[in-house]
Structures are given as structure tokens and as C-alpha cells.
């Protein structure tokens, strides 16, 4: 009887341990930040790639182009669907293309991510299957990355969706913070993306080992002699120093193989990640495979540890120190603007102070009546436009505003009067806003 109890207990313990190991492998409660890096990169790559295809749209995918759909449908596979098979007029292709580009941009900035990502995936697959003769390596990688990103809960960090969520909270209370999103499913999707990259590198290395050119160490030489990747500078160097060819050929296989097995360990991951990115940098610079290298690098982002990004954020925050923005809490317009502005401060670099309820020891109320102020760690206080200008450069979420605030001469020439007018009329703007809100609700 006691043996049976012991066996049952051992079985239960083994099951629990296995269950825990399974959860640790797949369902760690992780943030989405590595996936968000991949989302931004994939969105950017797709936007750039397909936007540049616009002048050739009808040639590449149109009925009167290289591949009429009738010819395409001769080898019809019901599992290889393209939305373009169902288009009957050229304007439909153009309309979809514009919608697709818009969705790529939205995916990149993380606006309405939960549905735009599916349109990007459907569009990308449709372009691929409508004219398969156009596709090459990067299209395959992009489809694999996009598919996992579609399943993943992306858009919860480093995105406009996150900005909107934070803004909603800040509208109720400017000091409110939203905890970073974490979920076991985010952990599972990160793992799937990592496995995708490891599988890709493994097969890429193994298939190379089957070839004589790679065994003999000559493959890199042959690559640069093809008219497609001809590079006179590289060939001149390699011809006189042929050992570099051997080194580059075997090095490529070594990095690809080592990546598959050593990328998982905490200690070796940074080196393997650096090796893989170096490899792609070489492909980009020497072979002109910019788009391919960029897409691959975005896939490697899945191996970036969230704590590396957290540490980077803290270091950034430490470098510039805490900033305090002093605003007029009685002005509705100012509070709403502040909520928008602060929503972009993902690292929490800016503290806020309402001078009406909590006067600043550094800036007088009379000064505050005229403009918003930013107090820096060294005690300096910058007013109005200069405050925004200072912050924009130091808060990564606001970098997109740099062109507006740092255009030589013009930014200050236009920015100061605009800010002063808004500050002087903020009471009227607040009333208009209240009226507007009343009319809406």
C-alpha cells in the first residue's frame, strides 16, 4: 500500500515538475517589448518596400502586368489564396494597395494594432501569391514574422495604442501611471519567434554544409563574382587575400550553427546576437541586401531580453535626470495637452506639478500665469516653447516631434509666437473645449 502511495506521489511530483518546466519554457509572464521592436521594424520594412512598389503596381500585380491571373490560376492551389484573385478592376488593386500601405504605417506606429496587423499579413501573402515569381528570401521571412506578430498581443508598449491608454488614465489624474503589460501569451509568442529564427539559421547552415562550395570554403568568392552581387572592391581584396574568403565562408556557417544552439543561454546570447547582426550588416553593406538584412535583424530582436531594455531605459533616465513640468491645473486645455504630452513619456522622465495647488519654490506664480515651466535637475527653469523643445529631444517617445522643434531658425521663429498665443488664450480655448465636450455628450 505504502509503495502505491509513494509511486502515486512520485507520479504527481513528476507531473507537477513537468508542468512547471512546460510553463517556464512557453508561458513566462513577459512584457511585449521584444515583440514590439519586431513589430516596428517589420511595419517599417513592409511600408518602405511596398510604398516603393507603387509606381510598378500594375506591372507587378496587375492584370495587364507580368502575370495575368488566368495564367496564375492554371496552377491554382486552394491553400495559396490571394485577395487579388477576386479583384475585377484595376481601381480595386490600387484601393487595396493604399489601404495596405496605411495599415503598414499604422502597424509601425502601433495604431489600432489589433486589427491592422491582420490586414498587413493578408496583404503581404496576397502580393506573394498573386505573383510568386517576384518573391525572394525576405518575403518568406516577413510572412513568418508577421504571422506570429498577428497572434501576439502587440501594440501594448512602444505604440500609439499604449499612448492612448495612458492618456485616458492621465485625463483623470495627470500623475496616474499604467503598469506595463505582461502576459504568458506574450511569452509564448516571443518563444515562437525565437524558435522561428533558430530553425531558420539551423536549416540555412545545414543546407550549406551539403554544398561543395561551402565545404571547400570558396562560397563567398563565388557570391561576389555573380553579376548580381559583383563588388569590385570586395573582389580585389579577396583575390589578393584569399584566406578572407575561407574565413568568411566558414565563419558564416559557424555563426549560423552556433546561433541555433547557443542563443538560448544567458551568457552566450549577447555574443550570438551580436554575431548574427554583424553577419546581416555584412550582407547589407557588401551584397546590397538591405531589406533582407533589416527584416532578419527584426526577427533577432525576439532574443533581446526585456531587462536589457529596462536597464537601457533606466540608464537614459539617469543620464538626463528627473524633469519637473509645472502647469496650470485650472486650465482644462492645459491639462488635456499635458495628458497627451505625458502619455508619450514611457520612461516616466517627467514629474508634474500644478502650481495652483502646489506652488513651485523655483518659479513664481506670476511667471506661471504666462507660461508652463520645466525645471531641470540643475535648477534651471525653461518657459513655454523652450520647455517643450528641451523635453522633445530627451524623451524617446517624443522624438517624432524633433523635426518640428529643431528646424533651424524656423522652429523658434514660428514656435514662440504660436506658444505665446495659445498660453495667452488658454482660458478661451478651455471654454471652447468644454463647450465642444458638452455638445458631444
Q: Which of residues 3-42 bind other proteins (CB under 8 A)?
A: 22, 26-27
Residue from 38, 109, 158, 238 in contact with other proteins (CB under 8 A): 238
Q: How many residues bind other proteins (CB under 8 A)?
A: 72
DSSP-assigned states of every residue in 141-162: HHHHHHHHHHHTT-SSSSSHHH
Closest CB 30 distance from other proteins, rounded Å: 14
Residue from 4, 5, 172, 227 in contact with other proteins (CB under 8 A): 227
SS3 424: helix
Closer residue to other proteins (CB): 71 or 266: 71
Q: Please list, in sequence order, all residues whose beta carbon lies within 8 angstroms of the beta carbon of residue 351, skipping any fewer than 6 positions away.
A: 322, 323, 324, 325
Query: What is the rounded CA–CA span in Å between residue 429 and residue 196?
Result: 53
**Site map 243..282 versus other proteins, x via CB under 8 A:** ----------------------------------------
C-alpha closest to that of 35 among 124, 120, 142, 148: 148
Closer residue to other proteins (CB): 3 or 71: 71
Closer residue to other proteins (CB): 116 or 122: 122
Query: For residues 359-418, which are near other proteins according to CB under 8 A?
Result: none
User: Does an H or E element contain 19, and which?
Assistant: helix 2-26
Query: For residues 181-200, which are near other proteins according to CB under 8 A?
Result: 184-185, 188, 191-192, 195-196, 199-200
Query: For residues 84-113, which are near other proteins according to CB under 8 A?
Result: none
Q: What cell numbers appear for 154 in the block?
A: 502587440
Query: What is the rounded CA–CA span in Å between residue 412 and residue 126?
Result: 47
Give Cα separations from 335 to 8, 170, 376, 414, 427 (angstroms).
63, 9, 21, 23, 12
Closest CB 330 distance from other proteins, rounded Å: 45
Torsion sign across C-alpha atoms 221, 223, 226, 229 = negative
Closer residue to other proteins (CB): 52 or 281: 52
- Tell me the pairing of strands 30-31 and 350-354: unpaired
Query: For residues 299-358, which are near other proteins according to CB under 8 A?
Result: none
**Site map 119..158 versus other proteins, x via CB under 8 A:** --x--xx--xx--xxxxxx--xx-xx--x-----------
Closer residue to other proteins (CB): 236 or 322: 236
Q: Is 239 in the site for other proteins (CB under 8 A)?
A: yes
Closest CB 265 distance from other proteins, rounded Å: 20
- Stretch in the footprint of other proteins (CB under 8 A) among 223-231, 326-334, 388-396, 404-412: 223-231
Angle, alpha carbons 404-170-369 (nearest 5°): 65
Give Cα separations from 315 to 31, 222, 349, 416 (angstroms).
19, 45, 11, 32
Amino acid at each position: 500500500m505504502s509503495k502505491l502511495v509513494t509511486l502515486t506521489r512520485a507520479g504527481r511530483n513528476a507531473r507537477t515538475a513537468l508542468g512547471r518546466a512546460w510553463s517556464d519554457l512557453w508561458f513566462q509572464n513577459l512584457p511585449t517589448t521584444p515583440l514590439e521592436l519586431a513589430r516596428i521594424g517589420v511595419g517599417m520594412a513592409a511600408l518602405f518596400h511596398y510604398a516603393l512598389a507603387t509606381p510598378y503596381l500594375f506591372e507587378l500585380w496587375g492584370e495587364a502586368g507580368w502575370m495575368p491571373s488566368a495564367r496564375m490560376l492554371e496552377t491554382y492551389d486552394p491553400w495559396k489564396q490571394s485577395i487579388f484573385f477576386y479583384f475585377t478592376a484595376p481601381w480595386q488593386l490600387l484601393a487595396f494597395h493604399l489601404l495596405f500601405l496605411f495599415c503598414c504605417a499604422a502597424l509601425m506606429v502601433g495604431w489600432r494594432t489589433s486589427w491592422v496587423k491582420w490586414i498587413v499579413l493578408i496583404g503581404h501573402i496576397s502580393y506573394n501569391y498573386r505573383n510568386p515569381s517576384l518573391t525572394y528570401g525576405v518575403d518568406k521571412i516577413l510572412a513568418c514574422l508577421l504571422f506570429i506578430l498577428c497572434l501576439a498581443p502587440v501594440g501594448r508598449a512602444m505604440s500609439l495604442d499604449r499612448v492612448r491608454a495612458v492618456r485616458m488614465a492621465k485625463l483623470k489624474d495627470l500623475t496616474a501611471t499604467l503598469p506595463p503589460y505582461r502576459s504568458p501569451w506574450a511569452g509564448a509568442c516571443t518563444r515562437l519567434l525565437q524558435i522561428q529564427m533558430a530553425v531558420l539559421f539551423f536549416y540555412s547552415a545545414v543546407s550549406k554544409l551539403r554544398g561543395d562550395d561551402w565545404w571547400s570554403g570558396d562560397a563567398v568568392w563565388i557570391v561576389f563574382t555573380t553579376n548580381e552581387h559583383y563588388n569590385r572592391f570586395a573582389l580585389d581584396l579577396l583575390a589578393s587575400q584569399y584566406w578572407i574568403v575561407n574565413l568568411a565562408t566558414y565563419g558564416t556557417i559557424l555563426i549560423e550553427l552556433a546561433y541555433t544552439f547557443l542563443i538560448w543561454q544567458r551568457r552566450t546570447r549577447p555574443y550570438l546576437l551580436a554575431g548574427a547582426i554583424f553577419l546581416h550588416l555584412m550582407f547589407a553593406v557588401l551584397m546590397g541586401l538591405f531589406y533582407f538584412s533589416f527584416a532578419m535583424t527584426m526577427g533577432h530582436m525576439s532574443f533581446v531580453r526585456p531587462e536589457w531594455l529596462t536597464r537601457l531605459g533606466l540608464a537614459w533616465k539617469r543620464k538626463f535626470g528627473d524633469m519637473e513640468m509645472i502647469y496650470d491645473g485650472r486650465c482644462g486645455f492645459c491639462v488635456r495637452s499635458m495628458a497627451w504630452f505625458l502619455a508619450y513619456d514611457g520612461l516616466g522622465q517627467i514629474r508634474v506639478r500644478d502650481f495652483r495647488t502646489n506652488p513651485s519654490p523655483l518659479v513664481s506664480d506670476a511667471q506661471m500665469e504666462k507660461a508652463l515651466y520645466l525645471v531641470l535637475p540643475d535648477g534651471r527653469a525653461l518657459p513655454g516653447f523652450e520647455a517643450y523643445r528641451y523635453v522633445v529631444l530627451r524623451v524617446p517617445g517624443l522624438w517624432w516631434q524633433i523635426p518640428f522643434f529643431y528646424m533651424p531658425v524656423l522652429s523658434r521663429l514660428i514656435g514662440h509666437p504660436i506658444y505665446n498665443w495659445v498660453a495667452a488664450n488658454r482660458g478661451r480655448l478651455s471654454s471652447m473645449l468644454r463647450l465642444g465636450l458638452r455638445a458631444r455628450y
